[in-house]
Structures are given as C-alpha cells and as structure tokens.
Structure 1
Amino acid sequence: MTQSSHPVEDVLDTTDQLLEDGKDGLQVSELMDELGVKSIAAVLLAPSLALVSPLSGIPLFSSACGITIALISAQMLMGRNHLWLPSFLSNRSLPARNTQKATRTLRSLAAWMDRRFKRRLQSLLTPPFLRVLQGICLLCGLIMPFLEILPFTSSILGGVVALLALSMLTGDGLIALVTVTGLTLAIGGAAIHLF
C-alpha cells in the first residue's frame, strides 16, 4: 500500500467528507470502515485525535474512545486485517456540529505534523518493537475509562496514542522512539514523586 504524504489531514478529510452527506451525525462504524480501507493505523489515529480535540469534553466520550483504542490495538497485536467493534461503539453517533468544529481545530496541527513526519528508523516499526508500541496503545486505551474524572489525562494519553499511530502510519520510527522515551521518563518521574 502506498503511504500518503498527508496522513493526518487525510483522516480529517475523510471525516469531513462523510459529514458532507448532510446527516445530523457520523456513525463510528462509517468512519472506521472508510479509514480501514487505507490502514488499521489510520483507524487507530481517528479516536486518538478526537481525544485531543474539543470532542473530549463530551461526557463519557473519553471512555468510549479508550475502549475503541484498546479494541483496535488488541486486534493489531493479534495481526487481524479486519476490525471488529461491539455494536454499542460502532453504532455510536458523533454530533456533526461538534465533529466539524473538532476537525477545524485540528487542521493546523495536522498540517504541522504531516510536514515533519517521514520515513526514519523503520526497524523500530517491525516486530518485536512494533508489538511494544501496539501494547502501549492497548494499555493507554484500557486506562482511559478510569481517568474520566481527571481533566486532560485522557487527552494526554490520546496524544501518545496519536503519535504512535502516526509513526506506524508514516513509517517514522524516530517519532515512536521519542514518544516512548518521553512516556517512560514521565512515568519514572511520577513514580519518584509519589514514592
């Protein structure tokens, strides 16, 4: 499969295109199906980007995104090519107005990321290292529902997953290395502070 030079903007473009049908909302299953044609990493990118957008303010939205991220990551770890989501997630509808606002908010960030991500250190995106990245995404997704009441925590974890998904999508192992290193240092610092 040919990798796009604008993977983040492509996810936003796909979302906007689906919203142009004039519906009141966008079903999660529609977006997942459309992105899944391109890459499972693109499917993982969608909910993680949503978590760093204004959509994260919707009650229980972070939990739904976390469960979605966990399910996608688990299936990536299993090597599945076709994704499955339970009906309570796949049938969930994203409000059109809020989703359009979120894509507009993320446009400048998406353009900035697309300019800087390129194919580097690709050996870090092959097994066994790839499994570590997918495992981190799985853990971040599983933790999110428990952090619903703590402001911004889900957005931070969503940012971590977005960066790892982007590294997989673009073949940029350097971004994965920097992200994992930063996450490790943050966890280590928090552990030292707490204990």
Structure 2
Amino acid sequence: MTDHISITDLVNRVSHASDDDQTSVAQIVQALGQTSFLPNMMIPALAVVSPLSGVPLFSSICGLTIALVAVQMLIQRDHIWLPDFLMRKHLRTQRVRKATDWMKKPARFLDRITKERLRLLVHRPFLWVTQLICLLCGLTMPFLELVPFTSSLMGVVVCLFAFGMLARDGLFTLLGLGALGGVGWAAARLIA
C-alpha cells in the first residue's frame, strides 16, 4: 500500500498534467505515478462523480480504468498497465481543469477529516473484498451510462473505498459498504 497522500495533491497533479489544449489519460497516469494504484483508481472515480460524467462515453472510460486498476491491485502487479486505446483518450484540458476545480473543496474536506482507524478493514484479507467490489463497480459503469449520471453512484462507492485504502481509514470503507447497500436497495425498489 502506498504512503498517505493528500487528495488535494492528487487533484492538483491531474489539473496540471498537461499544458496543451488536450489532456490524455497517459498524461494523467504519468502525473499520478505508474506505481500509484490507488490514486489512479480514485481520480477516475472522482471524475465520474463530477459534472464530466455527462460527457458521452466518459463514464465508460473511467469505469474501464477503475476495473483495470482494481484487477492489477488484486493480482499485486508492481506498476499500472492500461491498453493503448485508453491511454490515447483525450479530454479538453479546460474541461479537466473545470472538473478538478470542482473537486478541490471536497478534497480539502476529506483531507481534514481523515485519520487511521478501523485498520482491519483496510488490510488483507478484507482489502481483497474491497478491491473486488471496486472492480465490479468499474465494470458496471459502462452499462449505467445508458441512464445519464447514474454511473456517479458507482463512482461514489469507489471513491469511498479508494479513499479508505489510501488514507488507511476503515471508516470510509464502512461508508462505501453503506453506499453500496443503498444503491442495491434503490435498484431493488426500482425493479420491484
């Protein structure tokens, strides 16, 4: 697991990943670090929660990125691999900066309230369960894109889990489980 990194720092890294008109996924991964699995999972999850989730195919790209990072965490790779077609995807830098500006206030709040607690929930064997749930959430995002902004719900769950792992704060893992339960309950009510 990586050392504790502030979410505000991660958001700033993404904001400054490119000085060009376009920012690629490869530039964002490079800014976050090839060995930084949790930041590379958290940033797409935060992005899906942002207004960017309304951009066509954006949630699918973020979901696939989350799923690929989660798989690699589960098999304990030492660095991130993402396929070329994902690494070459671009967004306008202006949109990226607008989204990261939107993320800064919640990031500062999260950085202030975090501390190491309920450590059992952020270490193996429970850590594998959390990573598996993140993988499944990422895989559902492309399907949720059919209904605009619903992938944001899965993004919230992944954000809570990733933040819990990053900060070693099991309280966020519990909140993630609660959010997942709430999403499951809402889906069951809609189907029934």
TM-score range, shorter chain: over 0.9
CA distance in 1, matches of 2:119, 2:87: 32
Counterpart for residue 157 of structure 2: 160
> Could you give the per-residue CA deviations for residues 28-67 of structure 1, whole angstroms, max 9, x where no partner exists?
1121123135721011011111111122121111111111
Equivalent pairs: percent with the same residue?
Answer: 43
Counterpart for residue 145 of structure 2: 148
Counterpart for residue 174 of structure 1: 171
Within a 5 Å distance, the mapping from 1:6-155 to structure 2 comes to 7-19=6-18, 22-36=19-33, 39-155=36-152
Give the drift of 1:152: 1.9
Tell whether the 8 Å contact from 2:157 to 2:179 is kept in structure 1 after alignment.
no
Tell whether the 8 Å contact from 1:23 to 1:96 is kept in structure 2 after alignment.
yes
CA distance in 2, matches of 1:28, 1:146: 21
> Could you give the per-residue CA deviations for residues 159-185 of structure 1, whole angstroms, max 9, x where no partner exists?
111111111111001110121133124
1:76 partner amino acid? M
Tell whether the 8 Å contact from 1:40 to 1:81 is kept in structure 2 after alignment.
no
CA distance in 2, matches of 1:11, 1:149: 29
SS of 2:56's equivalent in the other structure is coil
In structure 2, list runs of 5 or more residues that go unmatched. Answer: none
SS of 1:18's equivalent in the other structure is coil
Structure-2 change in CA distance of 1:63 and 1:2 (3 Å): closer
Counterpart for residue 3 of structure 1: 4
2:109 partner amino acid? W
Give the drift of 1:189: 5.1
SS of 2:17's equivalent in the other structure is helix
CA distance in 2, matches of 1:189, 1:64: 25
State how many pairs are aligned: 191
Tell whether the 8 Å contact from 1:124 to 1:173 is kept in structure 2 after alignment.
yes
RMSD: 1.6
Deviating above 6 A after TM superposition, structure 1's stretches of 4 or more consecutive aligned residues are none
Tell whether the 8 Å contact from 2:54 to 2:148 is kept in structure 1 after alignment.
no
SS of 2:76's equivalent in the other structure is coil
1:146 partner amino acid? F
TM-score (norm 1): 0.91
> Could you give the per-residue CA deviations for residues 111-157 of structure 1, whole angstroms, max 9, x where no partner exists?
11111121111111111110111011100111111111212211111
1:180 partner amino acid? L
